[in-house]
Chains A and B, each alone.
Chain A
């Protein structure tokens, strides 16, 4: 049997029901998120968020210092040391709190891969300010991601 014309194929496909079953059951995550009103935060839940925001701010400060103020020192090492500590602290803080979205570890893995690639480039050119800024940005994105998936702020419709 020959293939239908392309236009006919498009027309026929678009006329079909437009539904795909998600492979995961997404309802439990939604139920969890809507079960607790966003404004009804318990006091002890505030601290991970506060410390998360503080961590992001300090990373920015350390980066600025490393890149702009102390370019002759081993900027990458000091930034990495500080970032590792902050990341571990956040992961421990959120350990008992389930993430409200799935697949975030894959995004984190992508950022970690980017981190490795930049570090490799920095080994050949340790004082390259553009690479250091890029590394700082990737560190920042990792901390933001960890914070965001545990304390989401839903966007406006």
Chain B
């Protein structure tokens, strides 16, 4: 009970420190923004890497997320947790980036982009076992898996975000799980 109370106090104290920091950023304090970046950049980068399966794209989008955050942080009104809002902003920017950078050949013949190759995955540092498998997934299956299983979006929300039918989102999720299981068991 004492531990619970201690944890609850620590959580409240963390949240109020975060609110205070965001308040300073909203006032245009760049030092506070640097602190906010230091606290959240690893989370944002991890999400970008999982969605984009490309280290360079993930770096570009992480930068873009924080630049937009600086200009748009006044839109954060505190109705949800800051990390939840930041994840939603990151997901939207990453999906939009993928659409814009779709390879010309993919646009012409509508082929699906395959996942990251084994060599590139080996070069990425700090990946856990699941990340290594997720990055190998083909694009649509990967996006749906990350948004649903990792980020907790419902298939209805994913269908809107990715412009696909709800049924397609569900089938891509099952496809992803099947591939992941196959790779996991054969490793």
Chain A interface residues toward B at CB < 8 A: 3, 6, 9-10, 13-14, 16, 18-24, 26-27, 29-31, 33-35, 38, 100-104, 106-107, 110-111, 114, 134, 137-138, 141, 152, 154-157
Contacts and interface: CB of A to CB of B under 8 A. Distances in A.
A5 to B, nearest CB: 10
Contacts of B181: 6
B51 interface: no
B108 A134 contact: yes
B62 interface: yes
Contacts of B69: 157
A9 B129 contact: yes
Interface of B: 30, 33-34, 37, 41-43, 45-47, 49, 55-60, 62-64, 66-72, 75, 89, 92-93, 96, 101, 103-105, 108, 124-131, 149-150, 180-181, 184-185
Interface residues of chain B: helix, strand, loop or mixed (majority)? helix
Contact of B37 (A10, A30, A141): A30
A150 to B, nearest CB: 14
Given A9-B184, A157-B72, A157-B92, A30 B103 contact: no
B120 to A, nearest CB: 12
25 contacts: A3-B184, A9-B130, A13-B130, A19-B43, A20-B42, A20-B125, A22-B45, A22-B59, A23-B59, A26-B63, A30-B63, A33-B63, A33-B67, A34-B33, A38-B71, A102-B59, A103-B60, A107-B101, A111-B104, A114-B104, A134-B108, A154-B64, A154-B67, A155-B93, A156-B72
